[in-house]
Each structure stands twice: as structure tokens, then as C-alpha cells.
Structure 1
Amino acid sequence: MKQAHRYKEKNTRGTTAMWLRLSVLVSIVMVVLTLQACGNNVGSGNTNSATGSTDEGQSKATSGQRSEDIPTILNYGFIGSNKLNLPGGAEGWGLYKGIIQEELKKYGITEVKLTGFPNGPDQTESLISGRLDFGSLGDTPAIIAYASGAKTRLITQSMVNNVGYLIGKKDGPKTVKELQGKTIAIQKGSFMHRYVVGLLQEEGVTDYKLVHMLTPDATAALARGDVDATTNLGVPALKLISEGYTHLDDASQHPDLLGSSVTVVGEDFLAKFSDFPRVWNEARQKALADLKQHEDEYYQFLAEIGDTTPELAKQVNPVSEIKDTAFTEEGLKLLESTKNFLVEEKLAKKDYSISNWQQQ
């Protein structure tokens, strides 16, 4: 019995030692597997179950910002009104073809809501109030708004050399100098406002009256003879000239009075999506690259939103004028010149450096 008991005790001790060794071995294996899994996840591009995006892609997209901070709906404003509810340029083409939407989906934005505005000042009001996240508009209203304290950042200057026209009524003034003592319809705070004031200053016209009218009202007033001249852009301006109204001047003859198109974003939205300027500009560049491969189709698109012909759309808005980078030296110089003029004329409330407004 004693011998049997000693055998049983010895066997129990052996079994216990074996289980201890096995337990330690299992623990070591688990640690090794855990460390290996962690190592594989770093830079592996594995799908993140919470966001449906890759770890690598999410890091690149938001620079450490959580994708759930980014709103799913993007509110975008532009100038104009048409049946497609789209702007022109690379932005409009990219939205028309779905190129920009596909890029934005990578960052959790599932819908782009577009709103057309009759002029820049109306759009900046919506941006300041928070109804818009960002918008594309003429440089003058964007500069004036920032000078008045609007919390925006400049992220793109998509087009330079925008041409404004000054058009006189039929049987009215034939030259700019003949506008002395006359009434001119303008859109207050717009690029064309700045163009006309600068032009009259150059021509030495000091006695004139400016009245604020949106384009449809100004055109009707010109036809009735209620105003002596009005301003307009692009295709509508050329249509008026073809109908017999007097072409008094256009900004192509005055390089310092040309306009540009800019895109600005609200600082509140940037706080939610700090990498948005890069994301937007990269999406825009992809749209422009596609546009250049389908120029005939693009001019047909412009004709549809501008109620004109592809030939006239090409004449007024050639693809060559669309910038393929966010900023150019030429464009920034024009912005600085425009800002200085607006400050001197007290149309902008305060002076500032364009570089301080620009999102680097």
C-alpha cells in the first residue's frame, strides 16, 4: 500500500508539472501571435471595420482625424442658375461626371448638395451663416467678405483672366467717357463692380451713378432705357452686343481689371475636416484631367448649362483658361492687386495679406 501510494503521489506530481509546462508554452505562443498580429496591422492596409476604409487610406485621408468627425453631407455654393444646377469649370465637370463624388466617398462624404446664387455677396452671406460649407465665386466678393471678418480660408483660384463687359443702351453713350453724369447698373460687391469703378477711374469719369441690380433686372432696365449702361459676363454679354447694344469696353483691354474665380471654405468646416483643401484640389485635378480628354463633350455641357452653343461656350470659356494647380504666381498677383484696389476705394473694410488668407 505504501508503495502504491508513493507511486500515485509521484504520478500526480508528474502530471501537474506537465500541465504547468504546457500552460507556459501556450502563453508564450499567444504572446508571439499577438505581437505578430500587431506588427502586420501597421501599414498593412487592412480594412477598418468601423469605417469601411483601409487603415492606410484613413491615415492619409484625415491626417489622424477620425473619419466620423467628417460630415457625410457637403454643402457647396456656386454662382449661376441652370437646369442642371451645376457650375462650369473642372468643378462642374467633376460633379456632372461623378468624379468628385467618388473621391469624396473615400472620406465618408456621401452627398454633395449644390446651391446656385445670383451673385457673390449672396453666396458669402450663406457661407458666413453656416448654410454652406464652402463655395466657388468671384474674387471680389470673397475678398470683401474676408476683409469684413468672414471666417473663411482661400483654397483654390481655379480661373484667372475673367472678362467683364460694359455695355451701353441702344442710341446711348458710344464711349466710356460719355458715361459722365450717367447711370450704370452693377451688382454691388461683385467683380464687375470693381471692374467698372476701376475703368471709370482710368478714363477720368468722376460724375456717375451706380445702381445695384441683378443681371435680369439690369438687362430689362437697359432695354427700357432706365439705365445708360450695365455690366455683364461671357455669353450673356455677347448676346447683348449681337442684339445691337453698344460694346463700350471689356476687361481684356485692362489686365489689372481682370477677375478670377476662387474657392473658399468656412473655418468651422475645416475644424471638422482639416485635410479638405488637399482632398478637394486633388479631386478637382482628376476632374480636369478627364475634362481635357473630352473637350467636345465639355463644351456641350457648358452649352447646356449656359443656354448657348458649344462654339460660343468654347469662345468664352476655353479649357486652356482652367488652372491645373490650386494657385499660380500670376493669379496671386492679380488677387493682391484686386485687394489693394478694393481697400483704396474703401470697398473692403481693412487691408490684409492674401498669403494670410490662403490655406497653405
Structure 2
Amino acid sequence: MSLFRTPARPTARRRGTSAVVGIALAAALVGSLAACSSSGSAKAADGGSTLRVGFISNTPNPAGPEGWADAHGELLPALRSAGISKIAWVPFKNGPDLSAAVQGGSLDLATLGDTPALTAKANGIDTHLVNQSAVGQDAWLVGAKGVTSLDDLKGKTIATQVGSYMYRYLVALLKQKGLFDDVKITHVYTTNAVASLQSGGIAAYAAPAGQLTGVLTAQGYPVIDKASADHPELLGTGATIITTKELAAHPGLPDAWNAARAKAVSEINADPEAFYEFAAKASKTTVDVVKVSQPVTLYPAEPFTDKGLKLLQGTDDFLAENKLSKGVVDIDAWRVPASTATTPAG
């Protein structure tokens, strides 16, 4: 049974539509996901546990510091002390689908964007925050040819992956500019963005900076807005979450995971070019694209930083205030228990 089948999604538009749309629709997967999974991390042949890790990617291999550590034979040895003897990586196209897998019991730990992680937590999916895996994820709004400004979008349809950090960026941007009620937002996977723009079905697409934006700009599609350049408060962060059940079974896992990740971050900062080559191969893209989408500066060594927590709190407040989630998440309480938490660094 496939974990990646996604139900058709209706158009999300105007006030009252939300990242909850993405979570609610993806939650339809829960029954099939639960049927495909065992309850809790599976027992490996050697008596240890298999850690089932979800991540966002169109390829089967994780490309961040965690993927680097795994590919270099460093991650699993670091997790053995926590009772882990095998790692099973499971890719998902977007955060809401991954969240549904967490809820359905198919995953023990996952890395995803802050918006779907917060929305899932607010909607009752029982997780704890292990770290902020990335801080400063960029999003671009790319227009169809002939669309060069935000004002050109009035009365038209804009697309993104509903429920993603790009969705939060798009909604916040439109609200800031007073355009939210004048446009329609629809769900389109990043893999279908080029075709949607080429067909004229959408007037703009909110995309993660990297391969897609490189393809679009090379084909002459204009960049209307960049979060990094124009709205740094709308940059996204990554979140690593663990289920309550997995945390109870392996209480030392967050520390072990974060220690392995910190070592990997140190290594990629010492040799960025080697990391870019690794990430390009894992993502099946080019080094130039990776330098835009995954600069080494995106990855803090510490589990939490003041900058990252500020961005995360801003996202949480925005989602709750605009009814894009079911309420505010207590981020301090969401983080792993005090015995394994790390004091934020500046």
C-alpha cells in the first residue's frame, strides 16, 4: 500500500480557508497509513528498534545535515545508545501528508516545515519539538509571464502547496498588501508548478527558493517577491518532531539525534562544497541550485536559537490569529522535556 497517495484538494480561497484545509484533507490518509504501519517503532532483528523518519522531498534520500550524517555512517551509531538499531527514511511531498502519517502511526520522528508542524500540533496531533532543523527558509512568489507586480494579481488565481511554509508566506504577504480578498489560492504541488504556469491556469506560484525558482526564472518567469529580500519576518523554519509514544520508549533519542546533527553541521560548515555536492546528488539537482535552497547558513548547530524561536512564535501567532490553525501552540511546552532541552543560543 502506497504512503503517498494524496486526495484531490478543493480550491482554498479567501477568508476562512486555511492550512487546516491541507491538514484535514491529508488526514483522510490516516486510515490507510495506520493499516500500513505497526504501533510504535518496529523491533529490528537484533532486538533494537527501527526508527521511522519522515521528511519532505521528491527524492528518496534526505539532503540536509541529517542525511549527511546518515550517508557518512555517523547517524545510526550515534542513535544506538538510545536503543535504535535501524533507520527507515520515508519521503513525503508535503507537510500535511507527513503529519497525517504521524497521526496514523506510520512515523516515529519527522522533519518538516514549521507551518504544518504547528498546525498539526494545534489540531491535536501528539508530538514534541526536538529541534528547529533549519532557520531562514526562503520563499519566492513567481509570476506568469506578463505578471510583474502584486497588483497584477487582483482577481486572479495563485497557487502553492496549501499547508506549507510557502502558504503561510503567501497568505501573510497578500494580507500585508490588502490583496487577500481579491485573489483565489489553490493547491498545486511544486512538481506541477511549471505546467500550471505554462498553461495559464495560475497567475503566480509561491515556491521554495531553489530548484523550482531556478527553473522558472531561467524560463523567463518574473520574480514578484522574495521573503529573504522583502519580508524577512516571513522566512520559514524547519521542525523536527517526535511522537509522545516514541519519546517515552526512547527518552534519550532527542539528545542523541541533536548531537549527531550538531556534528554534521560542524562538518558541513568546515567543507561547504562537499556538502553542496552531497545535497545536489541526494536531491537530484545541481550544486548551484543547492547553494540557493540549502546554504550551510540555513542550519544552526544548536537545537534552538533566539532567531529561530522568534520566527516560530511569529508563525504560530499568525496561524492562530488568522484561524489557519485551531489555536496557539505553547512552544515552550511543545519542546522536548527540560531534561533534554537545550538553552537557546543567539
Query: TM-score interval w.r.t. the shorter chain?
Result: 0.7 to 0.9
Given residue 285 of structure 2, which amino acid in structure 1 is its aligned partner?
T
Name the counterpart of 1:187. 161
Runs of 4+ with deviation above 4 angstroms: none
CA distance in 2, matches of 1:272, 1:106: 13
Match of 2:149, SS state, is: coil
Match of 1:323, SS state, is: coil
Name the counterpart of 2:65. 90
Given residue 70 of structure 2, which amino acid in structure 1 is its aligned partner?
L
Trace 1:160-309 onto structure 2 (pairs within 5 A).
Answer: 160-171=135-146, 173-205=147-179, 206-233=181-208, 234-252=210-228, 253-309=230-286
2:292 paired residue among 304, 312, 315: 315
Give the deviation of 1:314 after TM superposition: 2.0
CA distance in 1, matches of 2:218, 2:298: 24
Give the deviation of 1:330 after TM superposition: 0.8
Given residue 173 of structure 2, which amino acid in structure 1 is its aligned partner?
L
Match of 2:300, SS state, is: coil
CA distance in 2, matches of 1:288, 1:242: 31
> Does the CA-based 8 Å contact 2:55-2:110 persist in structure 1?
yes
Name the counterpart of 1:14. none
Name the counterpart of 1:44. none
TM-score (norm 1): 0.77
Number of residue equivalences = 289
Higher helix share: 1
Name the counterpart of 1:117. 92
Match of 1:110, SS state, is: strand
Match of 2:134, SS state, is: strand
Which structure 2 segments of 5+ residues have no match? Answer: 1-46, 342-346
CA distance in 1, matches of 2:69, 2:308: 22
Given residue 176 of structure 2, which amino acid in structure 1 is its aligned partner?
E
Given residue 195 of structure 1, which amino acid in structure 2 is its aligned partner?
Y
TM-score (norm 2): 0.80
> Does the CA-based 8 Å contact 2:159-2:206 persist in structure 1?
yes
CA distance in 2, matches of 1:277, 1:345: 32
Give the deviation of 1:216 after TM superposition: 1.8
Q: Which has the higher contact order (CA 8 A, sep 6+)?
A: 2
C-alpha change, 1:218 and 1:312, in structure 2 (3 Å) is closer
CA distance in 1, matches of 2:149, 2:186: 19
Q: Which segment is superposed worse, 143-152 or 157-166? A: 157-166
Give the deviation of 1:71 after TM superposition: 5.0
Given residue 187 of structure 1, which amino acid in structure 2 is its aligned partner?
Q
Alignment deviations for residues 230-258 of structure 1 (CA, whole Å, 9 cap, x no partner): 12112211221111112111111102211
> Does the CA-based 8 Å contact 1:153-1:267 persist in structure 2?
yes
1:349 paired residue among 319, 326, 337: 326
> Does the CA-based 8 Å contact 1:235-1:306 persist in structure 2?
no
Give the deviation of 1:105 after TM superposition: 2.6
Give the deviation of 1:214 after TM superposition: 1.1
Trace 1:327-346 onto structure 2 (pairs within 5 A).
Answer: 327-346=304-323
Which structure 1 segments of 5+ residues have no match? Answer: 1-69
Alignment deviations for residues 139-173 of structure 1 (CA, whole Å, 9 cap, x no partner): 000000000001000110021111011111123x2
Alignment deviations for residues 154-209 of structure 1 (CA, whole Å, 9 cap, x no partner): 110021111011111123x2101221111011211111110000001111113111
Match of 2:84, SS state, is: coil
Given residue 148 of structure 2, which amino acid in structure 1 is its aligned partner?
K
CA distance in 2, matches of 1:166, 1:355: 32
1:132 aligns with 2:89: no
Given residue 161 of structure 1, which amino acid in structure 2 is its aligned partner?
G
> Does the CA-based 8 Å contact 2:129-2:241 persist in structure 1?
yes
Alignment deviations for residues 77-104 of structure 1 (CA, whole Å, 9 cap, x no partner): 100022xx22222111111111101212
CA distance in 2, matches of 1:71, 1:348: 37
Coordinate RMSD, CA, aligned: 1.6
Name the counterpart of 2:49. 72
Given residue 162 of structure 2, which amino acid in structure 1 is its aligned partner?
K
